[in-house]
Structure 1
Amino acid sequence: MTQYFTHRTLGLLFATAIALGAFEAYAQKTGSKTPTSQEEPSTQILSDTLHYDDVKRESTFTGNVVMTRGLMTLNSDKLVLNEDAEGFQFGVATVAPGKRVFIRQDRPENFEVIEGIGQVGEYNGKDETFDLIGQAVVTRFICGKKFDNVSGQKVRYYQKTDTYEAYSGPDSVNPGGRVRSVAQPRARAEAAVAECKARQGTAPAPAPTR
C-alpha cells in the first residue's frame, strides 16, 4: 500500500539534509569552485574516519558521523557521498542494527522542529528523491510538542514536486506494516504557534528531547 500526501515543512527537512549537504561535502573534498551565496550556511561533517577515492569520486565517513548545515543535523554511523559521470550527486547514510539514522531541521521562525528517523537514508540526485527506509518516522514539533507525524516502512520525498509517498511493509513501525499519518488542521497549528509566541515572546521553541 502506498499513501500520497504533500507537506511543505517536511520537504525542508529532506531537501536540506542530503541534497545540499551531499553536494557541498563532495565539493569540499575535490576543491570544486562552484559559487555559492554568502548567506548559505557551510556544511560540516564530523566522523572518526574519512576515506576519499578520487577514481570513484566517493567520500566515505565512518564512526559517529554528524553532518551539520545551518540548523540541520544528520547523525549516522556511516555516510557515503559520491558523484556520477553526469555530475549527479548521491548519498547513503546507514547505522548499525538496532540504531536509526536521525535527521533534524530547526525552524525557529515558526517555533518548529522537524525530525526524521529510519534504518537507512538515501538521496538520489538524478531523480531528486530522498528516502528514509526501514521503520521510517517523520515528526513535526511545535513549541517542543509533537504535532504531525507520518510513518511506514519507507517515506520518500520528491524535490521536484514537493510531494511524498509513504509505503507500508514488514519493516513499518505500525501494526500490520501499515502506513500511519497524523496531520493537524492548519488552524490548530497556527493557534499553537500564536500560543507559543505569547508564552515565550520571540524566543525560539525549546528543542524536543530525543
Structure 2
Amino acid sequence: MKANFMPMLRSATRLLLAALLAATLVPAQALQSDKTQPIQVEADAMHYNDVKQTSVFTGNVVVTKGSLVIHAARVEVVQTPQGYDDATAFGTPNKLATYAQTLDAQPGQPTPSMFGSAVTIHYDGKSDVVTFTGQATLDRLSDGKLTDRAQGEVITYNDLTDVFTVVGGKAGATPSNPNGRVRVMLSPRTTQPAAKPSGPAPALKVSPGLGAQP
C-alpha cells in the first residue's frame, strides 16, 4: 500500500518527522530541500479511527521525506484531547525501528548524515521530547564515516532545550557490555586553518603624540 497522507493526518505526521529530525548527537540542520519534499508512506495496511483520532500503519512501514527515511514494523499517530500529537515507530528486538537523514554541509566540507535505531521511537507533541527505547543508538557520520555514537537503553532528546540524555541499565546488557553501561564515542572536530593575509602587513605608524616634547 502506498499513499500520501490525508489532510487530517498530515499535521500529526509532520510533527513526528520534525521531532525525529532533531534527535542528533551534534546539533545540525537537516537538508533545506527536505522541508519542501512531500511526505510519503508505504505499508502493507493502514487503519484510521476518526473517533479515537488514531492512524496506524503496519507491515514494513517506510516513511520518506526528501533524504529522511524511517523504517518500522508499525507506526502509530495519536491526537490527544488537548490537541497535541503523539507518534511512535515500533520495531522489534531483532529488527529495530530506524531512521536516516542527510544534513546540510558547509561549503567545501564533508557531507554529514545521521542514523538512529531503537526498538521504539516515541515523540511527545506536548513536551517536544523524542525518546528512543531499547537497544538505542544515535550515530553521526561524515561522508559515510562514523564520527560520533551514543548507545544506551534509553536516549531522550528535548527539541525545546536542545539537550539529550542517555541512560543505561541491565535491560540493555549485551555479551560485550554485561552491565548495560552507557557508551559514547565522540571524534575530535577538525578546524579550518586561519586565512593568510592577501598582502604584506601595513607599516606601523607612530602616533603624533608619542615622543613629543611637552
Q: TM-score w.r.t. structure 1 length? A: 0.69
CA-atom RMSD, angstroms?
A: 2.2
Q: Which residue of 2 aligns with 1:139?
A: 139
Q: Does the C-alpha gap of structure 1 residues 108 and 44 become closer, same or farther in structure 2, counting only changes over 3 Å?
A: same
* 3-state DSSP of counterpart to 1:67: strand
Matched with 1:20 is 18
User: Over residues 116-174 of structure 1, what are the superposed CA-to-partner deviations in whole Å (9 max), with x where a residue is unaligned?
Assistant: 01111111011110011001011111111111000000111000001101001123254
Shift, 1:184, TM fit: 1.4
Which amino acid in the other structure matches residue 79 of structure 2?
E
Q: Give, in angstroms, the shift of residue 21 of structure 1.
A: 7.7
What is the aligned partner in structure 2 of residue 29 from structure 1? none
Q: Is the 8 A contact 1:19 1:125 kept in 2?
A: no
For residues 140 and 17 of structure 1, the distance between their equivalents in structure 2, rounded to whole angstroms, comes to 22
Matched AA of 2:162: D
The answer to whether the aligner puts 1:161 opposite 2:185 as a matched pair is no
> CA, structure 1 residues 19+87, in 2 after alignment: closer, same or farther (shift >3 Å)?
farther
Question: Does residue 86 of structure 2 align to residue 83 of structure 1?
Answer: no
The reply on whether 1:95 has 2:91 as its aligned counterpart is yes
Task: Find the aligned partners of 1:39 and 1:69 in 2 and give their Cα distance.
Answer: 8
SS at match of 1:176: coil
Q: Residues 158, 21 of structure 1: CA spacing in aligned structure 2 closer, same or farther, 3 A cutoff?
A: closer
**Pairwise CA distance, 1:18:** 2.3
Partner of 1:197: none
Equivalent-residue separation in structure 1 for 2:78 and 2:122 (angstroms):
12
Does the CA contact (< 8 Å) of 1:152 and 1:171 recur in 2?
A: no
- In the superposition, relative to structure 1, how do residues 120 and 48 fare at CA in structure 2: closer, same or farther (>3 Å)? same
Identify the residue that residue 186 of structure 1 maps to in structure 2.
189
C-alpha contact (below 8 Å) 2:46/2:55 kept by paired residues: yes
- CA separation in 2, counterparts of 1:49 and 1:154? 29
Structure-2 residue corresponding to 1:73: 69
Higher relative helix content:
1
- Measure, in 2, the Cα distance between the counterparts of 1:54 and 1:21: 24
Residues 40 and 114 of structure 1, relative CA distance in 2, 3 Å threshold? same
* 1:41 Cα deviation from its structure 2 partner: 2.3
Q: How much identity, in percent, do the aligned residues show? A: 28
Alignment match, 2:198:
none
**TM-score, normalised to structure 2's length?**
0.68
Deviations 1:81-111 (A, max 9, x none): 0111221110111123411010111125351
Distance 2:130 2:66 in 1: 19
Deviation of residue 175 (structure 1)?
Answer: 3.7
Quick check: which has more Rg, 1 or 2?
A: 2
The runs of 5 or more residues in structure 2 that have no matched partner are 1-13, 21-33, 193-214
Residues matched between the structures, number: 159
